[in-house]
């Protein structure tokens, strides 16, 4: 509200509200809308960005929908509905979707009871079986990434987490790795790779981090890890010693994901694993996820891409405003998932 007041003090003729309501309670949202109506009556033009479709329908005169950076269309609010907006937001051809064949599921390998990542309001239970791919969907800011980070230990949490019966202590990624858990983070450039370090250093980063400083990884073991990347991930790099920043985004992501293959974790946490990579690299990662599931790896997949969730996952948990609001099985449609994410009734 202070930021809103600061903008209003300039008496602007054009004002942009970018997810302004995301951190406001309902009473403050209504106050903001009262201010916006007064501004409209005073002649100000306003652009209001929100993932909450009920707010769009209440306050906006027209709606412009963008998808994948392209204009889908503009409609008058009075002449459309939330369902039609969702259809415009989804609007994908399913002809070229990757469809993973379901694997035979084994015993439960990840068991969480009363799991509550510290920023989120509610606790929930989660079970993940060997060979199962469970997706977590929702809009940006819904709490998806926080679930993975809490399980892995990069943020605090409440609740009990076990991997193959071994307790994983909160806030302890080393214990999570030792228990058989791996994480591919959402922000590849900031948290996935060390851009100025070599392909070799990045490939063996997890392995090196698990060893004491006085016992570095041998060149023979490094060669094994690199061999996995080149053979199984189809990594394309001119030399093992070149900086990772010289590689394409797809090849950088292959290192982040592929370095876990040598460790063979029981549970692999994937946060937006195909973001910012080309279509060919995406297909290779989809095939890898399918193969890992067939080999018994349990996978928890966060994705903003609805076709990824419906094409790869055995179950999908949808989150909204820090809460799990629905669980869907195979056969769920984009419309059902988007409806849950947007809170449309």
| pLDDT in the model for residue 210 | 61
Q: Quick one: pLDDT at residue 301? A: 95
Residue 93 has pLDDT above 50, yes or no: no
Average pLDDT, the chain: 85
- HEC-encoded secondary structure of the chain: CHHHHHHHCCCCCEEEEECHHHHCCHHHHHHHHHHHHHHHHCCCEEEEECCCHHHHHHHCCEEEEEECCEEEEEEEHHHCCHHHHHHHHHCCCCCCCCCCCCCCCCCEEEEEEEEEECCCCCCEEEEEECCCEEEEEECCCCCHHHHHHHHHCCCCEEEEEEECCEECCCCCHHHHHHHCEEEECCCHHHHHCCCCCEHHHHHCHHHHHCCCCCCCCCHHHHHHHHHHHHHHCCCCCCCCCCEHHHCCHHHHHHHHHHCCCCCCCCEEEEECCCCCCCHHHHHHHHHHHHHHHHCCCEEEEECCCHHHHHHHCCEEEEEECCEEEEEEECCCCHHHHHHHHHCCC
Quick one: residue 204, left, alpha or beta (phi over 0 = left, psi -120 to 50 = alpha)?
alpha
Q: pLDDT tens across 60-87, in order?
A: 999 999 876 789 999 999 999 887 887 8
pTM: 0.74
What are the angstrom distances between the C-alpha of 104 and each of 107, 131, 150, 164?
10, 6, 28, 18
Residues 6+ apart with CB under 8 A from 157: 115, 116, 117, 118, 150, 151, 170, 171
Q: Tokens representing 280?
A: 């060919």
Supply the pLDDT for residue 214. 63
Which residue ranges form the domains of the chain, and what is each CATH number? 2-90 (3.40.50.300), 108-342 (3.40.50.300)
pLDDT of res. 199: 84
pLDDT tens digits along 200-250: 888 888 776 666 566 667 778 878 888 888 888 888 888 888 888 988 888
Q: What's the pLDDT tens digit per position in 134-176?
A: 999 987 778 889 999 999 988 889 999 999 998 998 888 888 8
User: What is the structure's pLDDT at 297?
Assistant: 94
Q: Is the pLDDT at 94 greater than 50, yes or no?
A: no
Closest CA to 168 of 109, 81, 250: 109
């Amino acid at each position: 509200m202070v930021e809103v007041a600061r903008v209003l003090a300039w008496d602007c003729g054009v004002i942009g509200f970018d997810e302004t309501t995301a951190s406001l309670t309902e009473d403050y949202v209504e106050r903001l809308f009262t201010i916006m109506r007064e501004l409209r009556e005073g002649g100000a033009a306003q652009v209001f960005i929100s993932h909450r479709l009920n707010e769009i329908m209440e306050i906006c005169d027209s709606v412009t929908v963008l998808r994948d950076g392209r204009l889908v269309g503009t409609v008058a609010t009075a002449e459309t509905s939330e369902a039609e907006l969702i259809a415009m937001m989804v609007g994908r051809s399913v002809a070229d979707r990757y469809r993973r064949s379901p694997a035979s599921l084994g015993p439960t390998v990840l068991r969480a009871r009363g799991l509550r990542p510290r920023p989120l309001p509610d606790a929930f239970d989660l079970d993940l079986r060997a060979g199962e791919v469970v997706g977590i969907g929702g809009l940006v800011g819904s709490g998806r990434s926080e679930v993975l980070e809490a399980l892995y230990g990069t943020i605090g949490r409440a609740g009990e987490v076990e991997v193959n019966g071994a307790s994983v202590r909160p806030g302890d990624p080393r214990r999570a790795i030792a228990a058989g858990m791996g994480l591919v983070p959402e922000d590849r450039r900031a948290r996935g790779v060390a851009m100025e370090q070599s392909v070799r250093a990045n490939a063996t980063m997890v392995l090196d981090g698990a060893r004491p400083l006085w016992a570095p990884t041998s060149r023979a073991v490094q060669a094994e890890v690199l061999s996995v990347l080149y053979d199984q991930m189809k990594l394309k790099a001119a030399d093992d010693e070149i900086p990772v920043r010289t590689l394409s985004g797809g090849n950088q992501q292959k290192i982040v994901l592929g370095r876990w293959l040598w460790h063979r974790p029981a549970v692999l946490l994937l946060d937006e694993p195909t973001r910012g990579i080309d279509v060919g690299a995406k297909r290779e990662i989809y095939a890898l996820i399918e193969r890992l599931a067939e080999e018994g790896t349990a996978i928890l997949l966060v994705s903003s891409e609805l076709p990824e969730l419906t094409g790869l996952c055995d179950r999908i948990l949808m989150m909204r405003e820090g809460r799990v609001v629905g669980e869907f099985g195979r056969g769920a449609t984009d419309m059902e998932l988007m409806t849950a994410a947007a809170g449309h009734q």
